[in-house]
Amino acid sequence: MSGAPGEVLAIVLLGATLVVAVVRPWGLPEAVVSVPAAALVLALAILPLHVAAEEARSLGPTLGFLAAVLVLAGMAERDGLFAAAGTWMAAASRGRPVALLAVVFLVGSAVTAVLSLDATVVLLTPMVFVTATQLRLRARPHVYACTHLANSASLLLPVSNLTNLLAYRASGLSFARFGAIMALPWLAAIAVEWLVLRRFFASDLVGRGVSDRGRRAVLPTYPVVVIGLTLLGFFVTSIVHISPVFAATAGAVALVLPAVGSRKASLKDVAVMVDVPFLAFVLALGLIVAAVSYRGLGSAVEQLVPHGSSLWSLLALAALAAVLANAINNLPAVLLLLPAVAAGGAGPVLAVLIGVNTGPNLTYVGSLATLLWRRTLRRHQAEPPTSEFLRLGALTVPPVLLASTVALWLSLRVVG
Amino acid sequence: MQVIVWLAEGTWEGCVVAAAPLIPADARVSLLYVVAEDVSHAAGAAPEGLMGRWRPRPGLTEKMAAEAAASGEALLAAAAGLLGRAGVVQVIRRGRVEREVVAAAEAADLLVAARDGDRSRLGPHSLGPATRFVVDHAPCAVLLVWPDEVPGVGSIPPPPEGGRRDHSAPPRSQHPPRPAHGEARGRR
């Protein structure tokens, strides 16, 4: 199927894939619709096989990275890394709310950069909630700092966010160079978040909590060393021109083997962490978006997006990406935008990344569409985000976008 | 007389100390703590934004709300000890903090609350959002107490076009320390 019908069908399939991925009717894995949809795209030749094969080949390392990082974070939690982080944050804050916010920023930024935003959202945020509550401090500023940093502090490394892995693939940068260019935008985003949150939650950062918990943080040595070496491996492999996926895989294996050997974890646990259905979903989503782009939307997007690496076009790209991420969620947004800007080099690719990563803070956990779908299509028991949270997003996202993009522009001039 | 004292982390001790001498001896006193469910929900439900990575952990949100409730119970117990009165009722509610406080005060004659907010810049916005809501909507008289040091009159900046009158405040030590500063407001 070619031409307009093919394009329309590809867009319909993309829409269906996204809706199912977000709503997950009857708890079905997102792959249930996305994989057949991708198969249909191939069977009807909406996407030619050779283009599909090329897309799948280039997505391979990205999926390997994703799997390895999911395992690293999952195993680190099993080994007590996040519990230790909670104890350490409690001790380091000594019951002072602003000090706790500072250590939450420190730990949240580090965990997000190294173990990805997933680890911050899923593993660190509940720990921060419990830590603040047990210190008898108000949890609100600290929890919201975590959910914000999961997005804003995910700019640093290719492994920090799935969108980064996709941008890393498109940018043609080495791992080390990616990190070197994004260091300044990352710091700028964190600094703006700190300034805004510190003021915004001033009325909750009062008084003094319980400080004498009498518990000392015992950092689990082995996982910390393995994660540190893995991080080092990312840079070393990229300097000697080996794919850093090998470093990620080696790190994951180094954490899994002793755990499985001593029966602390079963292979089934590891399989759950690897999350094959999700990897299949990402691959299928990549193919469907490739079909949508191939059948004409790609060139349309290409005409719409600003080109060049001037400060203004970088700012426009970041803003556009942020809007798109809020409308259709950041994963499809980055898949749609990257092919259109990749020819422009690292600058535009990374500007898109700043938009899709920091933009979702505007509407709570991902996208406005996410919430609307959730509320209309499923009787959701959860509370909608408060106006307070939306105000916080409106106050942080524009300055973060601005500061990070200007920092990126500077960084590109310095690091190149 | 039914008195309800709303307590929260960070200000509860000061609130109890300041309110204790102002509550009539024959009053029936309830201590109230509200579990902010929007916060435990934000912490527990954030993974839903991850598009399928990491399965939602069943019961996480409820577990965290329970943790917060347990902490609130400990806070109320400590506050009751500090208040040192007999027959004090301890009440835990869950939901949006400001709305739960107003609802809890429905049958009360007096609601005691801490001057919650950023007290480093006193002015129209120095009441925290929850306290502001409670002051605006409380169905009874409200007694606002300073949870820490009471600012002197000299903390008020001079009026914008002033200059003729002398606003230099006397040193604070000349003010006798007051236990509390009340701002009562009745609607009945």
Q: What would the pLDDT profile of B28-50 be if each residue is shown by its tens digit?
A: 999 999 998 888 877 777 776 66
Residue partners of B164: CB distance under 8 A and separation at least 6:
none
A209 touches chain B (CB under 8 A): yes
Comparing alpha-carbon positions, the chain A residue that sits nearest to B68 is: A133
What is the separation of C-alpha A33 from the centre of its chain, rounded to a whole number of angstroms?
A: 23
Q: Given a cut of 70, is residue B80 above it in pLDDT?
A: yes
Task: Please state the φ and ψ torsions of residue A135, each to the nearest 5 degrees.
Answer: -80, 0
- Residue A366's pLDDT is what? 52
Nearest CA-CA distance, residue A117 and chain B, Å: 9
Comparing alpha-carbon positions, the chain A residue that sits nearest to B11 is: A207
Nearest CA-CA distance, residue A334 and chain B, Å: 14
Comparing alpha-carbon positions, the chain B residue that sits nearest to A383 is: B38
- Residue B186's pLDDT is what? 41
Whole-number Cα distances in Å, B29 to B15, B106, B114, B183: 14, 14, 16, 19
Provide the domain count of chain B: 1
Q: Between A118, A374, A388, which is nearest B53 by CB? A: A118
- A388: chain B residues, CB-CB within 8 Å: 129
Task: Find the mean pLDDT for residues B12-39.
Answer: 93
Comparing alpha-carbon positions, the chain B residue that sits nearest to A127 is: B43
Nearest CA-CA distance, residue A307 and chain B, Å: 30
- B119: chain A residues, CB-CB within 8 Å: 206
> CB–CB of B68 and A128 under 8 A?
no
Token pair 């690897």 is found at A274
Weakest-pLDDT range from A112-116, A401-405, B15-19, B160-164: B160-164
A17 touches chain B (CB under 8 A): no
Q: Between B40, B42, B51, which is nearest A147 by CB? A: B42
Nearest CA-CA distance, residue B128 and chain A, Å: 5
Per-residue model confidence as pLDDT tens digits over A237-264 = 888 888 888 999 999 999 999 988 888 8
Comparing alpha-carbon positions, the chain B residue that sits nearest to A31 is: B52
- A208: chain B residues, CB-CB within 8 Å: 10
Q: Between B10, B44, B47, which is nearest A206 by CB? A: B10
Q: Which residues in A173-197 are b (16+ Cβ under 10 Å) and which e? A: bbbbbbbbbbbbbbbbbbbbbbebb
> CB–CB of B9 and A138 under 8 A?
yes
Say if residue A351 is exposed, middle or buried (CB neighbours under 10 Å; 0-12, 13-18, 19+): buried
- Residue B148's pLDDT is what? 84
> What CATH code is carried by the domain that includes residue B169?
3.40.50.12370
* pLDDT averages per 10-residue partition of chain A, 416 residues: 78 84 73 90 89 89 89 90 93 93 97 90 90 92 91 93 89 91 97 96 87 74 94 90 89 91 84 85 89 79 81 94 85 86 90 93 58 42 61 92 97 88
- Residue B49's pLDDT is what? 63
Q: Given a cut of 60, is residue B68 above it in pLDDT?
A: yes
> CB–CB of A364 and B49 under 8 A?
yes
Nearest CA-CA distance, residue A329 and chain B, Å: 9
Counting one residue from A and one from B, how many pairs have CB atoms under 8 Å apart? 137
Best of A147, A203, A334 to substitute, by most chain B Cβ atoms within 10 angstroms, is A203
Weakest-pLDDT range from A375-384, B126-135, B138-147, B151-160: A375-384
* Helical residues (DSSP H) of chain B, grouped into ranges: 12-19, 37-45, 60-83, 97-104, 129-137
Sheet strand arrangement including B89-95? B89-95, B28-36, B2-6, B110-114, B141-145, B184-185
> CB–CB of A138 and B8 under 8 A?
yes
Nearest CA-CA distance, residue B13 and chain A, Å: 9
Nearest CA-CA distance, residue A258 and chain B, Å: 23
- Residue A2's pLDDT is what? 61
Best of A69, A124, A206 to substitute, by most chain B Cβ atoms within 10 angstroms, is A206
A90 touches chain B (CB under 8 A): no
Token pair 């107490």 is found at B145
What is the separation of C-alpha A6 from the centre of its chain, rounded to a whole number of angstroms?
A: 31
Q: Between A147, A206, A374, which is nearest B11 by CB? A: A206
Give me the sign of the Cα torsion angle A130, A374, B95, B125.
Answer: positive
Task: Find the mean pLDDT for residues B84-108.
Answer: 93
Which tokens sit at A319?
């803003």
Q: Given a cut of 90, is residue B57 above it in pLDDT?
A: no
Nearest CA-CA distance, residue B185 and chain A, Å: 22
Nearest CA-CA distance, residue A297 and chain B, Å: 23
Output the DSSP codes for A354-416: HHHHHGGGGGTTS-HHHHHHHHHHS---SPPPPHHHHHHHHHHHHHHHHHHHHHHHHHHHHT-
Say if residue B26 is exposed, middle or buried (CB neighbours under 10 Å; 0-12, 13-18, 19+): exposed
The amino acid that residue B135 corresponds to is V
> CB–CB of B49 and A365 under 8 A?
yes
- Could you list the residue range(s) of the whole structural domain that residue B25 is in? 2-185
A121 touches chain B (CB under 8 A): yes
> CB–CB of B9 and A118 under 8 A?
no
pLDDT bin (cut points 50, 70, 90) of residue B51 is low
A202 touches chain B (CB under 8 A): yes
